[in-house]
Structure 1
Amino acid sequence: MSDLPTELVALTTEQRDIIDLAAAFARDEIRPRAREVDEADVHTPWDLWRKAAQVGITGFMLPEEYGGGGCTDVFTQCLVQEELCVGDLGIGNLLCSNGFFADPVLELGTEQQKHDWLAPLAGPDSPMTALATTEPGAGSDAASITTTARRTKDGYVLNGQKAWISNAGEARQYVVFAKTDPEQRSRGVTAFLLRKDTEGVAFGEPMRKMGQRAIVCREVFLSDVLVPETQRLGDEGQGFTGLMRTFDISRTVLGAAATGVARAAYEYARDYARDREQFGKPIIEHQAVAFRLADMRTRIEQARLMTWRAARRLDLGLDARAEAAMAKLTASETAAYCTWAAVQTLGGWGYSREHPVEQWTRDARLEEIEEGTSDIMRLVISRSL
């Protein structure tokens, strides 16, 4: 098991088992494939997805009654996410992406919807899923989406365009957020369940990204897409409330992901500094390098503990909007710092593709953007002052 500060929280046998499984999968399956997947540019590593599904990683966060692993608490999800993202940030985020789809279904869905849409995600043949919120003109401000859902006698007709949707075109199931009342902002947002093969759904070409290339992002085009009322999640206008709860969870889990890549960068730089000699001694004995590594380790501990606090509050049913924002802000900026610091420690070699810290530096930049930019996180926190 990895060196987590578990003296703070007593872990169950089940938690230790899933953490050990995730750490082993990251070491044996993810890390050896990470560079290949990154250089493929736009490519979903389906073989890794299937291996992860077979051992229960893609569905560990789903409730047992729908065939999942039963680790529904955010705290355990954070423990697993950190371990997977030590292997590779993009692949780790990919393998846990069904949890992001499941959150609004669990928050707003009927029992029948939960059974119909979550049960297929459990087991060795789990399909991929996606959450469709962002639009070309609506990113962090989710209340400003312009995709519409017009009510008809047969259900709802959806029209609009989504952008930067993770797993779009690869996923078979989607949660789509649209306006049932275009005159309203947040109070007009409603969530819908949608299948990939529904008539009127189309996808753009894969977007070419700086990092986290294991996750394919595309635009989603909705043209007179008929959705039956049975596929509406919650009541009309409840979508934004469900989305905000989903954001609190996803931001916390992404805090754990960012902590994972920061830890990977620190451990790699530390080991390199122990083995590499300059001026007749290991570079870890040079004060500038040692102090940089000390800063990395300290920031990682801060990020992890803030993430754990947000997760605990969510699991207790407490408001955690500010805590989730603080966790994501701190962890994402820690990931950016630690990956840069790893490059700095390796010098010219860190700037080359001979070592993975070059890729991790690119991958980490997204953590300061997705699920709300760092500026938005500061805004959320300021509203709690």
Structure 2
Amino acid sequence: MSVLPTELCPLTTEQSDIIDLTRAFARDEIRRRARAVDEADTATPWDLWTKAAKIGITGCMLPTEYGGGGFTDVFTQCLVQEELCVGDLGIGNLLMSNGFFADPVLELGTEEQKRTWLTPLAGPDSPMSSIATTEPGSGSDAASITTTATRTTGGYLINGQKAWISNAGEAELYVVFAKTDPTQRARGVSAFLMRKDTEGVTFGEPMRKMGQRAIVCREMFFSDAFVPAENLLGAEGRGFHGLMRTFDISRTVLGAAATGIARAAYEYARDYARTRVQFGKPIIEHQAVAFRLADMRTRIEQARLMTWRAAKRLDAGLDATTEAAMAKLTASETAAYCTWAAVQTLGGWGYSREYPVEQWMRDAKLEEIEEGTSDIMRLVISRGL
């Protein structure tokens, strides 16, 4: 097991305990179910969700005043995310998904909204939640969404379509982003709290994906879906502000997720190389393999430290948009490299579904796409030059 560089950031007893808890859960529960979840293709692993909720993982990032575990700092969330994703990237991201829903509620919501919408997520029977932003014509460019929210008596009517929405149809609670002023870009975006059973909301069939199949994605369709005025998060036009803050956090946490799967690939390839004998000696003694493993370990350390830096800036209340983009870019491309390198180290066996590394290679690709592609991350970074 890789050792975290905690000499840089000494951990509290509580942080050490949550690492031990999530590391054991990843080893004993997640890893043994991962292949079956991947094979199931479009089925949510509710058994793992239920087990994780009962021991407090799915609500660990929520404030204690709403019944959560109190690990509201991004740094600790990164520690948890990395450990879970060593077990399986898709399952790890699924189990921490309530944090993505909570971020805009905490950023924009009233005290009443926070208590109403976050408290249920903290219990042992926690429902799933989701954020609905992406549309067929707008991915990383969230300001260009076309779903509308039109004022009506007592609230708003939502009309439009979303695509690639994680947990859509599985989740009970949603934050939906829509334009209250279609003539504006970012300043026209507002955020709304919505329940699954809202009249006028329908869901498409599960989308069949290359990897991270633990998270079911669907399209969402809104046809005069009524949302009460009290479900508006913040003021009209403030949704984009909340979304950008959410992106800074989610990109950082996804950096930790990508670091986790990269670490899993490195450890698996390293252990295999120690026992696989070719040309009369373990392949780890062959320079090409040893150098590849050295590259993997080095890149993982880089990814982790950049992720921790972004997390620490966020926790200090500093701007971290550039640092979050750098962390996600570095970690996601590290995950892509390390999973490829693991397949390469195992050779033909790595290409076989008998071993997990081929799945990890498929899973890792999404980290270079979600919450802003690598191209978008480079654009964000370049703006700070």
Alignment TM class, shorter chain as reference: over 0.9
Aligned pairs for 1:215-364 within 5 A: 215-364=215-364
Structure-2 separation of matches of 1:360 and 1:323? 26
Amino acid corresponding to residue 40 of structure 2 in structure 1:
A
Q: What do the CA deviations read for 1:65-108 (whole angstroms, capped 9, x no partner)?
A: 00000000000000000000000000000000000000000000
For the residue of structure 1 that corresponds to 2:57, the secondary structure is coil
Percent identity of equivalent pairs: 85
Amino acid corresponding to residue 176 of structure 1 in structure 2:
V
Amino acid corresponding to residue 331 of structure 1 in structure 2:
A
Structure-2 separation of matches of 1:152 and 1:44? 36
For the residue of structure 1 that corresponds to 2:176, the secondary structure is strand
Structure-2 separation of matches of 1:102 and 1:154? 25
CA RMSD of aligned residues (A): 0.6
Q: Which residue is equivalent to 2:97?
A: 97
Amino acid corresponding to residue 341 of structure 1 in structure 2:
A
Query: Structure 2 length normalisation: TM-score?
Result: 1.00
Structure-1 separation of matches of 2:151 and 2:12? 48
Structure-1 separation of matches of 2:19 and 2:106? 24
Structure-2 separation of matches of 1:283 and 1:68? 47
Q: Which residue is equivalent to 2:109?
A: 109
Q: Which residue is equivalent to 2:30?
A: 30
Structure-2 separation of matches of 1:171 and 1:41? 18
- Structure 1 runs (4+) greater than 6 angstroms displaced: none
Q: Which residue is equivalent to 1:191?
A: 191
The Cα shift of 1:2 comes to 5.5
Q: Which residue is equivalent to 1:169?
A: 169
The Cα shift of 1:152 comes to 1.3
Q: Which 5+ residue runs of structure 2 have no aligned equivalent?
A: none
For the residue of structure 1 that corresponds to 2:4, the secondary structure is coil
For the residue of structure 2 that corresponds to 1:163, the secondary structure is strand
Structure-2 separation of matches of 1:2 and 1:238? 42
Question: Is contact 1:2–1:23 with CA below 8 Å preserved after alignment?
Answer: no
Amino acid corresponding to residue 356 of structure 2 in structure 1:
P
The Cα shift of 1:154 comes to 1.6
Q: Which residue is equivalent to 1:368?
A: 368
Question: Is contact 1:206–1:218 with CA below 8 Å preserved after alignment?
Answer: yes
For the residue of structure 1 that corresponds to 2:116, the secondary structure is helix
Query: Structure 1 length normalisation: TM-score?
Result: 1.00
Question: Is contact 1:206–1:217 with CA below 8 Å preserved after alignment?
Answer: yes
Question: Is contact 2:147–2:160 with CA below 8 Å preserved after alignment?
Answer: yes
Question: Is contact 2:2–2:263 with CA below 8 Å preserved after alignment?
Answer: no
Structure-1 separation of matches of 2:33 and 2:273? 24
Amino acid corresponding to residue 46 of structure 1 in structure 2:
W
Structure-1 separation of matches of 2:262 and 2:97? 20
**How many residues matched?**
385
Question: Is contact 1:132–1:176 with CA below 8 Å preserved after alignment?
Answer: yes
Whether 1:142 aligns to 2:138 is: no
The Cα shift of 1:10 comes to 1.0
Question: Is contact 2:74–2:315 with CA below 8 Å preserved after alignment?
Answer: yes
Q: Which 5+ residue runs of structure 1 have no aligned equivalent?
A: none
Structure-1 separation of matches of 2:3 and 2:118? 33
